[in-house]
Amino acid sequence: MMDAMFPAAASEHAGEIDNMIDAVHYLMLVLFIVWGAFFLYTLMRFRAARNPKADYVGVKSKASTVGEVLVAIAEGVLLLGFSIPMWAERVDEIPSEADSTVVRVVAQQFAWNVWYPGADGVFGEADPYLTDEATNPIGLDRDGAGADDIWTVNQLHLPVDKAAIIHLTSKDVIHSFNLPNMRIKQDAIPGLSIPVWFVPTKTTVQIREETGNPDYVYEIACAQLCGNSHYSMRGFLTVHTEEEFQAWLDEEASYLGDSGTDDFFN
């Protein structure tokens, strides 16, 4: 019912998250009305005019205790019955890499470096001493498995209807990788590689049709205040059909000339 207030949903698990948010808000609405009414009732019932002498016994009804227990039970059901199982699926049921699109995302002040393993499907080595902010922000070693790796800045591309596993890390401070349409948000922490997974269910073309907005884009936001240009940490996710995705990868690979630089920003 509150769907219209959420960013357009475009992943397999988005509906579950939205239902949970709805349930929490409806519970809060009920609490607001019932506790508010109870508060007004007590103001009237125990007003000075009606109670000229202090009453040292006070309320004898157990109604508020019963109410508190019912609320605690409802919250327990939301937490143990819905939230924790949903979270467990995110962190424990990561699909196999063989059946997924596997990407690394390296956050930094103030951009998202997106790294694909290239044609061999194997990520190369990264060496901090090779890092060059202009030509090699991830410090990719082009010798060995890294020869065909592809990286972009602020441009994540994925095929539709296939699990995407994103190994998330950060070069400097804590960032938070947020794909609002995919209902994904995870901190990127220096020194840790954290897997995030989801299944995008609508291509960029489809979401543009659905929203009636020909310029609609899936955004990557940084959801953790990470420095003075935190606001500018805006990336884009493009969801393709499988064929379009392959064509995009091939195009990116075609820029891997003999120049030894990676100065493509697409």
The footprint of Cu ion (CB under 5 A) covers: 175, 222, 226, 233
Note the helical H segments in 77-174.
84-92
Is the CB of 152 or the CB of 224 nearer to Cu ion? 224
Name the minimum Å distance from CB 237 to Cu ion.
Answer: 16
Compute φ and ψ for 54, nearest 5 degrees. -60, 140
HEC string for 186-255: EEECECCCEEEEECECCCHHHHHHHHCCCCCCEEEEECCCCCCCHHHCCEEEEEECHHHHHHHHHHHHHC
Measured between alpha carbons, how far is 149 from 143 in angstroms, rounded to an integer? 10
Name the minimum Å distance from CB 230 to Cu ion.
Answer: 5
Q: Is the separation of the CB atoms in 15 and 82 below 8 Å?
A: no
Name the minimum Å distance from CB 221 to Cu ion.
Answer: 9
Tell me the one-letter amino acid at 45: R
Name the minimum Å distance from CB 233 to Cu ion.
Answer: 4
Is the CB of 160 or the CB of 188 nearer to Cu ion? 188
Is the CB of 22 or the CB of 219 nearer to Cu ion? 219
Closest CA to 64 of 29, 44, 37: 37
Measured between alpha carbons, how far is 26 from 20 in angstroms, rounded to an integer? 10
